[in-house]
Structures are given as C-alpha cells and as structure tokens.
Amino acid sequence: MKNLQVTKKYEGKKLSKFLIENIPNLTENLFYKTLRKKDIKVNEKRVNKNIEVYEKDEIEIYIKDELLIPEINKIYEDDNIIIINKQAGIEITGENSLTKYLQEIYKDKQCTPKPCHRLDRNTCGIIIFAKNNQALEILLDKFKKKQIDKEYIALVYGLPSEDKKLLKSYIFKDKKKSISYISDVPKKGYKEIITEYRVIEKRDNNTSLLKVKIETGRTHQIRAHLAYIGYPIIGDNKYGNNEINKKFKKKFQMLYSAKIGFNFKGDNGILEYLKGKSFSIDQNLLNKYFKLS
C-alpha cells in the first residue's frame, strides 16, 4: 500500500493524473485496473471512478510493488553479471531505481545484483550489474584501471568543423547545484578530463550524430564538455539550450551508452571469459532512437 497527500499543484485535477505523476512506473492501464477493483481510497473512502482531487486529500492505493517494476531489457546474463539496456528516466540507485527493481526480481534466486558503474538518470544505455561480490570487486578494479571501454552516441546541435577531435580540459563539480563546470586551464578543485568524439553524420537540420569515448569518467563529463565547445546535446535541460530542446520536442538528453568492451589485462579471476568481448546496443534500436521528425 502507498499513502500520498494531494498538493496544491493538483487542486481540481483528476485522480489519475495525480497518481501517475507521483508513483513511478504506474501506467494508465494499471491505474484503471486498480480503480475497477476499488483498491484506491480517497479520504478513507473506496472509489471506482476517476474523480477530481483537492489539496490535502489523503490517497491510499493498494498495489503490489512488483507491478510497478518497469520493463528490464537484458542484453546479456550469466552466473556472474547482468548487462542491461537502461531506459531514460530511471536512476541507477535509490528508492525507485534500477538496482532496487533488479534486486526485487532476483530476491528468490539468492542473488543481489549490484551496479558496477553509473549512468545519469536521463541517459539510456548499457549498465553492468554484478551478481556476486567476487565479480563486483573484479569489475570495480577493472573500471579503475581503465580496462573496460565505453562508447557513447550523442545527438548534438551544430555541425563540428572537425570530424574527429580529442578534447582535454578540466572539470569541477558543484555538489550543491549539481552541475559541472569546464575550464581550459588547471584550477583549484578541477580535475582533468579527456573526451574524444568522431562525427558519424551531419544532418540538414543543423544537428550532428557523434560517437564519443571518454578516457576519464567524471560526472556529466560528456554533456558538459560538448556543451562547452559549442555543441550541446539535444534534450539536455542542464547543459543544453531550452529553445532547441523545445524545437525538437526532446525532454531527455539524446545520449546513449551504446557499447562496452572488456579490455582486460593481468589477473581476471572468474571473469577471464569476458576478456576481449564486447556488447553493443542493436543498431536498429539506435537508428530509431536518434531519428528526429
């Protein structure tokens, strides 16, 4: 059961709008199914109609947590790891996160999947989970030693004059504002970043599709670095241009973690079999994702 209180923002709005916008992964179909079963109470009274709600109304909805688990798109799985194609709009860790959903799915399999790296909430793509502590320790060490390569696809506004470029700058993360700043010269608190891009396609609508690799994995590195050189990622509401985002009707940054490769060296323990392997997002899926109307 979930308990919620209606805020002023939803004064006079439909019950469906309030619940769908305040319960992660509650779909319209699931809402109406729950409503028909009279599993929703408004101010302690069961309702079966999509009524209007008002500020300070108390809502109770009886729904199983597993019904709120979003679709999990697995790319690969074995006894040690799971590779997921994460959708935009979901955190890696936290209360309503991919980690929590995966652990709910695997709770009866004596397995507690844990993430080995991070992706921004609104970035799609490949994320690796370890199914045991031994695999987790190995992968964390491999990421630290830069023996796991990641490749991204980004749709940016503008047409780069150079089709390929290695960018070297410095980044500072303002934790209070949750934003990162770029500098061309070293400064106190700034850390070096190296970002490489290659143009895949230049389009008539003044957008470009880029393949991006990073040698350093700092918070918001790709988003901040590309915006800094004048090519903001379309849909990025933090480092991008709001007018451009509205023009293309994109709410999430058009950034996709598209490929991951295991460039292992030395002792690889139980994950030796991954050495030299790579996993990619299906090209047809990428083409569909980056198509702009």
Q: Mind listing the pLDDT tens digit for each residue in 58-112?
A: 999 998 877 787 788 999 999 999 999 999 988 999 888 999 989 988 988 889 9
Name the pTM for this structure.
0.83
Dihedral angle of Cα 159, 161, 164, 170, to the nearest 10 degrees: -90
- Assigned CATH class of 2-65: alpha beta
Q: What is the CATH number of domain 151-257?
A: 3.30.2350.10
pLDDT in tens, 100-129: 989 988 988 889 999 999 999 999 999 999
pLDDT digits (tens, 9 = 90+) for 16-30: 999 998 988 888 999
What pLDDT is stored for residue 66 in this prediction? Answer: 74
Mean pLDDT to the nearest integer, 245-255: 93
The more confident residue out of 26 and 256 is 256
Query: What residues are labeled active site?
Result: 120
Domain boundaries, the chain: 2-65, 151-257
- Determine the Cα–Cα distance for residues 144 and 127; give it in Å rounded to an integer: 16
Distance CA 133, CA 227 (A): 38
